[in-house]
Protein backbone atom coordinates (compact mmCIF):
# COMPACT_ATOMS: atom_id res chain seq x y z
CA UNK A 1 0.00 0.00 0.00
CA UNK A 2 1.07 3.62 -0.44
CA UNK A 3 2.60 5.43 2.51
CA UNK A 4 0.77 8.07 4.53
CA UNK A 5 0.70 11.65 3.29
CA UNK A 6 0.22 13.58 6.50
CA UNK A 7 1.12 17.05 7.74
CA UNK A 8 3.35 17.53 10.82
CA UNK A 9 0.17 17.93 12.88
CA UNK A 10 -0.84 14.45 11.79
CA UNK A 11 -3.70 15.39 9.48
CA UNK A 12 -4.16 17.56 6.41
CA UNK A 13 -6.73 20.31 5.92
CA UNK A 14 -8.63 17.95 3.64
CA UNK A 15 -8.80 15.34 6.40
CA UNK A 16 -9.84 17.99 8.92
CA UNK A 17 -12.67 19.13 6.65
CA UNK A 18 -13.86 15.56 6.15
CA UNK A 19 -13.83 14.94 9.89
CA UNK A 20 -15.98 18.00 10.44
CA UNK A 21 -18.51 16.82 7.87
CA UNK A 22 -18.68 13.29 9.25
CA UNK A 23 -19.08 14.60 12.79
CA UNK A 24 -22.03 16.76 11.67
CA UNK A 25 -23.62 13.61 10.23
CA UNK A 26 -23.37 11.90 13.63
CA UNK A 27 -20.39 9.65 13.01
CA UNK A 28 -18.09 8.76 15.89
CA UNK A 29 -14.72 10.16 14.92
CA UNK A 30 -11.32 9.48 16.50
CA UNK A 31 -9.65 12.02 18.75
CA UNK A 32 -6.84 14.01 17.17
CA UNK A 33 -4.37 12.25 19.48
CA UNK A 34 -5.09 9.04 17.55
CA UNK A 35 -3.94 10.54 14.24
CA UNK A 36 -0.19 10.03 14.12
CA UNK A 37 2.32 12.67 13.13
CA UNK A 38 5.05 11.89 10.62
CA UNK A 39 7.55 11.66 13.48
CA UNK A 40 5.35 9.21 15.36
CA UNK A 41 4.80 7.10 12.25
CA UNK A 42 8.56 6.85 11.71
CA UNK A 43 9.02 5.72 15.31
CA UNK A 44 6.21 3.16 15.13
CA UNK A 45 7.62 1.76 11.87
CA UNK A 46 11.05 1.33 13.47
CA UNK A 47 9.51 -0.53 16.41
CA UNK A 48 7.46 -2.66 14.02
CA UNK A 49 10.57 -3.68 12.08
CA UNK A 50 12.09 -5.13 15.25
CA UNK A 51 8.80 -6.82 16.17
CA UNK A 52 8.50 -8.49 12.77
CA UNK A 53 12.16 -9.55 12.79
CA UNK A 54 11.53 -11.15 16.18
CA UNK A 55 8.64 -13.21 14.83
CA UNK A 56 10.79 -14.24 11.87
CA UNK A 57 13.48 -15.35 14.34
CA UNK A 58 10.96 -17.38 16.31
CA UNK A 59 9.64 -18.95 13.09
CA UNK A 60 13.14 -20.28 12.41
CA UNK A 61 13.71 -21.60 15.93
CA UNK A 62 10.44 -22.76 17.48
CA UNK A 63 10.36 -26.55 17.73
CA UNK A 64 8.80 -29.59 19.33
CA UNK A 65 10.08 -30.25 22.86
CA UNK A 66 10.81 -26.60 23.61
CA UNK A 67 9.41 -25.20 26.84
CA UNK A 68 7.37 -22.02 26.74
CA UNK A 69 9.98 -20.54 29.12
CA UNK A 70 12.58 -21.01 26.36
CA UNK A 71 10.40 -18.99 24.00
CA UNK A 72 10.17 -16.25 26.61
CA UNK A 73 13.96 -16.23 26.97
CA UNK A 74 14.44 -15.96 23.18
CA UNK A 75 11.99 -13.04 23.01
CA UNK A 76 13.68 -11.17 25.84
CA UNK A 77 17.19 -11.73 24.47
CA UNK A 78 16.33 -10.80 20.88
CA UNK A 79 14.41 -7.69 21.90
CA UNK A 80 17.03 -6.34 24.29
CA UNK A 81 19.81 -7.16 21.82
CA UNK A 82 18.05 -4.72 19.49
CA UNK A 83 17.99 -2.03 22.19
CA UNK A 84 14.26 -2.46 22.64
CA UNK A 85 11.97 -3.54 25.47
CA UNK A 86 9.38 -6.37 25.49
CA UNK A 87 6.14 -4.45 26.03
CA UNK A 88 4.31 -7.22 27.94
CA UNK A 89 6.97 -7.45 30.67
CA UNK A 90 5.40 -6.16 33.90
CA UNK A 91 2.55 -4.54 31.94
CA UNK A 92 -0.21 -4.33 34.55
CA UNK A 93 1.71 -7.00 36.44
CA UNK A 94 2.17 -9.50 33.59
CA UNK A 95 5.27 -11.50 34.62
CA UNK A 96 6.86 -12.45 31.28
CA UNK A 97 8.05 -10.95 27.97
CA UNK A 98 5.66 -12.78 25.65
CA UNK A 99 2.32 -14.58 25.56
CA UNK A 100 2.38 -18.22 24.42
CA UNK A 101 -1.08 -19.75 23.97
CA UNK A 102 -1.48 -23.43 23.10
CA UNK A 103 -4.57 -25.22 21.74
CA UNK A 104 -7.53 -24.25 23.98
CA UNK A 105 -5.71 -21.21 25.41
CA UNK A 106 -7.21 -18.26 23.57
CA UNK A 107 -4.60 -15.71 24.65
CA UNK A 108 -2.30 -14.47 27.44
CA UNK A 109 -0.71 -17.85 28.11
CA UNK A 110 2.10 -17.27 30.61
CA UNK A 111 5.39 -19.00 29.72
CA UNK A 112 6.76 -21.48 32.26
CA UNK A 113 9.27 -24.29 32.62
CA UNK A 114 6.58 -27.00 32.90
CA UNK A 115 4.83 -26.61 29.54
CA UNK A 116 6.51 -28.10 26.47
CA UNK A 117 5.48 -27.91 22.82
CA UNK A 118 4.20 -31.27 21.57
CA UNK A 119 3.56 -32.67 18.13
CA UNK A 120 0.00 -31.78 17.17
CA UNK A 121 -0.09 -28.49 19.08
CA UNK A 122 -1.15 -25.21 17.55
CA UNK A 123 0.60 -22.32 19.28
CA UNK A 124 0.05 -18.58 19.20
CA UNK A 125 3.07 -16.44 20.05
CA UNK A 126 2.16 -12.80 20.69
CA UNK A 127 5.08 -10.36 20.80
CA UNK A 128 5.03 -6.62 21.42
CA UNK A 129 7.96 -4.22 21.31
CA UNK A 130 8.82 -0.80 22.71
CA UNK A 131 11.55 0.98 20.77
CA UNK A 132 12.49 4.55 21.67
CA UNK A 133 9.07 5.00 23.23
CA UNK A 134 7.02 3.61 20.34
CA UNK A 135 4.95 0.43 20.42
CA UNK A 136 4.33 -2.40 17.97
CA UNK A 137 2.35 -5.62 18.30
CA UNK A 138 1.75 -8.83 16.32
CA UNK A 139 1.20 -12.55 16.72
CA UNK A 140 1.57 -15.66 14.60
CA UNK A 141 0.37 -19.23 14.81
CA UNK A 142 2.84 -22.12 14.73
CA UNK A 143 1.90 -25.74 14.00
CA UNK A 144 4.13 -28.20 15.84
CA UNK A 145 4.96 -31.57 14.29
CA UNK A 146 2.03 -33.56 12.88
CA UNK A 147 -1.03 -31.35 13.24
CA UNK A 148 -4.51 -32.77 12.53
CA UNK A 149 -6.38 -31.52 9.45
CA UNK A 150 -9.05 -30.02 11.74
CA UNK A 151 -6.54 -27.97 13.72
CA UNK A 152 -4.66 -26.98 10.56
CA UNK A 153 -7.87 -25.72 8.95
CA UNK A 154 -8.68 -23.61 12.02
CA UNK A 155 -5.27 -21.96 11.80
CA UNK A 156 -5.64 -21.29 8.08
CA UNK A 157 -9.17 -19.86 8.30
CA UNK A 158 -8.14 -17.65 11.20
CA UNK A 159 -5.32 -16.22 9.10
CA UNK A 160 -7.83 -15.55 6.33
CA UNK A 161 -10.02 -13.74 8.88
CA UNK A 162 -7.09 -11.51 9.83
CA UNK A 163 -6.32 -10.79 6.18
CA UNK A 164 -9.97 -9.99 5.42
CA UNK A 165 -10.05 -7.61 8.39
CA UNK A 166 -6.93 -5.83 7.15
CA UNK A 167 -8.39 -5.53 3.65
CA UNK A 168 -11.61 -4.05 5.03
CA UNK A 169 -9.84 -1.41 7.16
CA UNK A 170 -9.91 1.37 4.62
CA UNK A 171 -9.99 5.15 5.16
CA UNK A 172 -13.47 6.63 5.64
CA UNK A 173 -15.09 3.26 6.32
CA UNK A 174 -16.07 2.16 9.84
CA UNK A 175 -14.71 -0.33 12.34
CA UNK A 176 -17.99 -2.24 12.27
CA UNK A 177 -17.24 -3.11 8.64
CA UNK A 178 -14.02 -4.80 9.75
CA UNK A 179 -15.69 -6.83 12.49
CA UNK A 180 -18.63 -7.84 10.33
CA UNK A 181 -16.40 -9.12 7.52
CA UNK A 182 -14.33 -11.20 9.95
CA UNK A 183 -17.41 -12.64 11.64
CA UNK A 184 -19.02 -13.53 8.32
CA UNK A 185 -15.96 -15.45 7.14
CA UNK A 186 -15.48 -17.28 10.43
CA UNK A 187 -19.10 -18.33 10.78
CA UNK A 188 -19.36 -19.31 7.11
CA UNK A 189 -16.60 -21.82 7.85
CA UNK A 190 -18.27 -23.16 10.98
CA UNK A 191 -16.26 -21.26 13.59
CA UNK A 192 -17.06 -18.60 16.18
CA UNK A 193 -15.45 -15.25 17.02
CA UNK A 194 -14.40 -14.47 20.57
CA UNK A 195 -16.43 -11.50 21.87
CA UNK A 196 -14.70 -10.70 25.16
CA UNK A 197 -11.34 -9.63 23.66
CA UNK A 198 -10.50 -7.33 20.78
CA UNK A 199 -7.86 -5.46 18.83
CA UNK A 200 -6.79 -1.99 19.87
CA UNK A 201 -5.01 1.20 19.02
CA UNK A 202 -1.25 0.82 19.36
CA UNK A 203 1.73 3.04 18.68
CA UNK A 204 2.16 5.80 21.23
CA UNK A 205 0.83 3.52 23.97
CA UNK A 206 0.61 -0.27 24.17
CA UNK A 207 -3.18 -0.27 24.35
CA UNK A 208 -5.20 2.78 23.40
CA UNK A 209 -8.35 3.67 21.53
CA UNK A 210 -10.05 2.45 19.47
CA UNK A 211 -11.28 -1.00 20.47
CA UNK A 212 -11.28 -3.11 17.30
CA UNK A 213 -13.93 -5.80 17.66
CA UNK A 214 -13.84 -8.80 15.35
CA UNK A 215 -17.62 -9.16 15.11
CA UNK A 216 -20.39 -6.68 14.54
CA UNK A 217 -22.54 -4.88 12.00
CA UNK A 218 -21.54 -2.98 8.92
CA UNK A 219 -21.91 0.82 8.90
CA UNK A 220 -21.40 1.03 12.66
CA UNK A 221 -18.54 1.96 14.94
CA UNK A 222 -15.81 4.57 14.85
CA UNK A 223 -14.83 6.16 11.55
CA UNK A 224 -11.49 4.90 10.22
CA UNK A 225 -9.29 7.91 9.41
CA UNK A 226 -5.83 8.33 7.83
CA UNK A 227 -3.15 8.48 10.51
CA UNK A 228 -4.67 5.86 12.83
CA UNK A 229 -2.60 2.84 13.89
CA UNK A 230 -4.31 -0.20 15.39
CA UNK A 231 -4.22 -3.97 15.55
CA UNK A 232 -6.49 -6.52 13.91
CA UNK A 233 -6.19 -9.80 15.83
CA UNK A 234 -9.20 -12.10 15.54
CA UNK A 235 -9.44 -14.97 18.01
CA UNK A 236 -11.39 -17.75 16.30
CA UNK A 237 -12.73 -20.78 18.17
CA UNK A 238 -13.56 -24.20 16.81
CA UNK A 239 -16.51 -24.42 19.20
CA UNK A 240 -18.38 -21.78 21.17
CA UNK A 241 -17.12 -18.21 21.37
CA UNK A 242 -17.46 -18.26 25.16
CA UNK A 243 -14.22 -17.99 27.14
CA UNK A 244 -13.14 -18.25 30.78
CA UNK A 245 -10.44 -16.31 32.58
CA UNK A 246 -8.01 -18.12 34.88
CA UNK A 247 -8.75 -16.90 38.40
CA UNK A 248 -5.44 -18.17 39.76
CA UNK A 249 -2.97 -16.37 37.49
CA UNK A 250 -5.31 -13.55 36.48
CA UNK A 251 -4.24 -13.65 32.83
CA UNK A 252 -4.74 -16.91 30.92
CA UNK A 253 -7.91 -17.08 28.82
CA UNK A 254 -9.32 -20.49 27.82
CA UNK A 255 -12.17 -21.58 25.59
CA UNK A 256 -15.08 -22.49 27.82
CA UNK A 257 -15.74 -25.79 26.03
CA UNK A 258 -12.09 -26.90 25.77
CA UNK A 259 -12.07 -26.69 21.96
CA UNK A 260 -9.02 -25.16 20.27
CA UNK A 261 -8.64 -21.50 19.39
CA UNK A 262 -6.37 -19.66 16.95
CA UNK A 263 -5.27 -16.06 16.48
CA UNK A 264 -3.26 -14.02 13.99
CA UNK A 265 -2.45 -10.36 14.60
CA UNK A 266 -1.20 -7.48 12.50
CA UNK A 267 -0.78 -3.79 13.24
CA UNK A 268 -1.70 -1.39 10.46
CA UNK A 269 -1.41 2.28 9.60
CA UNK A 270 -4.37 3.90 7.83
CA UNK A 271 -3.21 6.07 4.93
CA UNK A 272 -5.07 8.38 2.58
CA UNK A 273 -4.88 5.65 -0.10
CA UNK A 274 -5.62 2.51 1.94
CA UNK A 275 -3.49 0.99 4.66
CA UNK A 276 0.06 -0.07 5.35
CA UNK A 277 0.74 -3.33 7.18
CA UNK A 278 3.28 -2.53 9.87
CA UNK A 279 3.56 -5.97 11.50
CA UNK A 280 2.49 -9.45 10.45
For the stretch 207-245, pLDDT in tens is 999 999 999 999 999 999 999 999 999 999 999 999 999
Question: How many CB atoms neighbour CB 212 within 10 A?
Answer: 26
Is the CB of residue 29 less than 8 Å from the CB of residue 270?
A: no
Is the CB of residue 130 less than 8 Å from the CB of residue 82?
A: no
Angstrom distances, CA of residue 48 to CA of 39, 54, 156, 160, 247: 14, 10, 24, 21, 33
Domain extents for the chain? 17-279
pLDDT of residue 207: 98
The pLDDT tens digits of the residues spanning 152-185 come to: 999 999 999 999 999 999 999 999 999 999 999 9
- For residue 13, pLDDT over 90 is answered with no
- Dihedral over Cα of 149, 154, 155, 159: its sign: positive
CATH placement of domain 17-279: 3.90.230.10
pLDDT tier at 2, thresholds 50, 70, 90 = very low
> Considering the entire predicted model, what is its pTM?
0.94
Q: Element (H or E) spanning 231, and its range? A: strand 229-232
Amino acid sequence: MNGARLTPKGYSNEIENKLHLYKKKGYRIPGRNLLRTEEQIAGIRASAQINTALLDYLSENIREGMSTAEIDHMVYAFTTDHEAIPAPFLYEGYPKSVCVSINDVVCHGIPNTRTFLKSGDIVNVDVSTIYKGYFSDASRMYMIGEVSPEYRRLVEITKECRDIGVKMAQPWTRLGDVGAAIQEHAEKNGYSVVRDLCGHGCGVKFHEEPDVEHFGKRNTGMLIVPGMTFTIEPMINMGSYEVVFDEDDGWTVYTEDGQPSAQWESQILITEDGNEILTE
